[in-house]
Amino acid sequence: MKKWLVIIVIAGLLGMKWMDREQETAKNELNIETVQTSADKGSKNLTVIPKEQIYQGNLLLVNKDYPVHDTGVSQDIIRLLDHEELTSGYLLLDHKTMLSRQVAEKFTEMVQAASMEDINSFLISSGYRDNDKQQQLYDEKGADYALPPGYSEHNLGLSLDIGSSQMSMSRAPEGQWLRDNAWDYGFILRYPEDKTDITGIKYEPWHFRYVGLPHSVIMRDKNFTLEEYLEFLKEQQSITTTVNGTKYQISYVEVQGNTPVPVPAGKHVELSGDNISGVIMTVYP
């Protein structure tokens, strides 16, 4: 009788351990899956945001205080000259120029739109730079004209220096067209003339950064730099806006570990870290 009692107790303990393992496995699976839940206002998905997302995405803030993490570099970097379909409508100052394919596609779309208004003397003088190339530039130009490796937006693959083959960008029709229209294609003038006290970088009429819609349009309408926009989202926590007929809900999520966030089912969800401590979640139909 005692023997059977011992067997039953051992089996019970093993069963408890098995249940613990199953629960832990379920928690781990949340990191890569969405779980559908019910809510009073409709079905929602529980999306788990991993901490690593803080350092990935189109809205990363990169400057002297916040360097690029290895996972923050765009995963679709290409050499532009290898893709003929992405090199029409502008010139390349350096045939080795590299860039995120997503950004190259949007840039091509943008210059094609400009050409419809007879603005067609664009060139790209710089795109993605790896740390070695950034170090070389830093050594040649010095701290007054370049940032050290890892602290430049060019290390992301989302920024490019755009020029005109006719004259300087501060006077060129290409520069004026971009200042008026780049926002509609997801680009921002990253270092405006009247915001050097915020960005810490002198006016660069040639430096444009891809952040995507609807963020670029909001930043234009509110006259925000990227620094100001991220701070605005952190303060507001959640905003809604309509751009080109599409309604967007944008939320700031503080992330300290794997963080579950409910989102409406059947919606597109885009996540971007701010490279500081949070993630911007953009939800749209």
- Where do the DSSP E strands lie in 131-276? 159-164, 187-189, 207-210, 238-243, 246-254, 259-264, 268-273
Give the alpha-carbon dihedral of 109, 113, 116, 120, to 10 degrees.
-70
Residue 110's closest CA among 191, 190, 212?
212
Amino acid (one-letter) located at 102: Q
Under 8 Å CB-to-CB from 211, ≥6 apart: which residues?
Answer: 58, 59, 158, 186, 187, 188, 219, 226
Active-site annotation holds for 29: no
Amino acid (one-letter) located at 31: N
DSSP 158: S
Q: Where are the alpha helices (DSSP H) in the chain?
A: 2-29, 101-115, 131-141, 173-181, 196-199, 215-221, 226-236
Catalytic annotation, pick one of 204, 227, 228, 231:
204
Separation of alpha carbons 222 and 217, rounded Å: 9
Q: Which residues are catalytic?
A: 204
